[in-house]
């Protein structure tokens, strides 16, 4: 497929994914559940320095970060970091499973089935272990790529000269954007693993093998399906990069507000991304 045809087709599939959200709102239930879980965890972390949660979280925060972070307004500074830590188990054990439920619902819609949300849960439940292992592998690859980036950053600080200063500034100031791009790459690499597990009922090894054997030729197309919706997260990164200035000139609670907004936007992006990937997978499946 030519580059000229690649972008319009990607935009068309992304638009179809958005249309599916309007015409089949039950697809949104798993993603709304992900947002609810994340907001609930954020709420727990927000109240962690206060009684009664402080009995458990207080000693942990005090030991790892210092007692000052248990008091207003400094407690807002560590809130994003604590939430990022909490994101890991959510991603590994809950988010991918719920995305699998959404894929099952989309598959049912594609086959004109009347599968309910409850039935979709039951159909995906036997594959839970495979989904969790797939999430672990994806996370390890993501962490590995991020470690490579960290290695380049560390080496740049040992270099001297004008070019080294530019490289350090680029790697340091561009860290959130590099991290976002790494996420796009990893999602693209393993794009069809979940559809293969959920729709085809393939085991983890077979799903990974078929993902790379049969679908790596679609990498440019899938990359655009992931990249285009992810661009919507750039304003959040710009705000987060300047959150210290924003919080100092407004009020400390802006850190919490920005976290809530970032959760909603990231879940919305994931909704469009994974529905787009599944639609594309189903189109390839029909053509085959």
Residue 13's CB: how many other CB atoms inside 10 A?
Answer: 22
pLDDT of amino acid 163 = 61
- Residue-averaged pLDDT of the chain: 88
Q: What pLDDT band is residue 2 in, cutting at 50, 70 and 90?
A: very low
pLDDT of amino acid 209 = 96
Q: Could you report the per-residue pLDDT of 62-119, keeping only the tens digit for each?
A: 777 778 877 887 888 888 888 999 999 999 999 999 999 999 999 999 888 777 899 9
Q: Write the CA distances from 20 to 28, 88, 115, 141, 210, integer angstroms.
A: 9, 29, 16, 31, 27
* Lowest-confidence pick of 41-50, 145-154, 253-262: 145-154
Rounded to an integer, the average pLDDT of 200-225 is 92
Q: Higher-confidence residue: 241 or 38? A: 38
Q: Could you report the per-residue pLDDT of 147-196, keeping only the tens digit for each?
A: 998 887 777 767 666 566 667 777 777 888 999 999 999 999 999 999 99
Read off the tokens for 90: 């959510």
DSSP secondary structure of 115-128: --HHHHHHHHGGGH
DSSP secondary structure of 195-260: HHHHTS---HHHHHHHHHHHHGGGHHHHHHHHHHHHGGGHHHHHHHHTHHHHHHHS-TTHHHHHHH
Phi-psi group of 159: left, alpha or beta (phi > 0 → left; psi -120 to 50 → alpha; rest → beta): beta
pTM, to two decimals: 0.92
Q: Higher-confidence residue: 54 or 177? A: 177
Rounded to an integer, the average pLDDT of 272-282 is 96
For residue 56, pLDDT over 90 is answered with: no
pLDDT of amino acid 1 = 47
The domain spans of the chain are: 3-287
Q: Higher-confidence residue: 5 or 162? A: 5
Q: Write the CA distances from 288 to 216, 250, 283, 284, integer angstroms.
A: 15, 56, 9, 6
| Most confidently predicted of 1-10, 35-44, 73-82, 279-288 | 35-44
3-state DSSP helix/strand/coil percent for the chain, to nearest 5? Answer: 85, 0, 15
Q: Find the distance separating the first CA and the last CA of the chain, reported in whole Å.
A: 16
Q: Which of 30, 32, 239 is nearest to 123 (CA)?
A: 30
């Amino acid at each position: 497929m030519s580059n000229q045809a690649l972008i319009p087709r990607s935009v068309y599939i992304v638009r179809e994914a958005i249309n599916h959200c309007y015409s089949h709102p039950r697809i949104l239930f798993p993603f709304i559940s992900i947002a609810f879980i994340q907001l609930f965890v954020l709420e727990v972390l927000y109240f962690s320095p206060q009684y009664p949660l402080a009995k458990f979280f207080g000693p942990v925060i005090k030991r790892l970060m210092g007692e000052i972070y248990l008091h207003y307004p400094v407690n807002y500074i560590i809130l994003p970091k604590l939430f990022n830590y909490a994101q890991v188990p959510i991603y590994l054990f809950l988010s991918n499973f719920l995305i699998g439920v959404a894929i099952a619902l989309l598959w049912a819609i594609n086959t004109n089935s009347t599968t309910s949300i409850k039935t979709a849960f039951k159909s995906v439940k036997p594959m839970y272990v495979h989904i969790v292992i797939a999430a672990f592998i994806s996370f390890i690859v993501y962490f590995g790529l991020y470690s490579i980036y960290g290695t380049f950053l560390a080496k740049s600080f040992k270099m001297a000269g004008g070019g080294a200063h530019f490289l350090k500034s680029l790697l340091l100031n561009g860290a959130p954007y590099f991290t976002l791009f790494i996420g796009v790459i990893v999602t693209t690499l393993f794009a069809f693993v979940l559809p293969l597990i959920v729709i085809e009922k393939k085991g983890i090894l077979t799903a990974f093998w078929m993902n790379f054997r049969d679908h790596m030729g679609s990498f440019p197309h899938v990359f655009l399906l992931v990249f285009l919706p992810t661009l919507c997260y750039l304003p959040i990164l710009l705000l987060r990069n300047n959150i210290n200035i924003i919080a100092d000139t407004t009020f400390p609670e802006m850190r919490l507000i920005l976290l809530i907004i970032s959760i909603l936007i990231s879940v919305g992006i994931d909704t469009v991304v994974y529905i787009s990937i599944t639609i594309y997978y189903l189109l390839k499946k029909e053509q085959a």
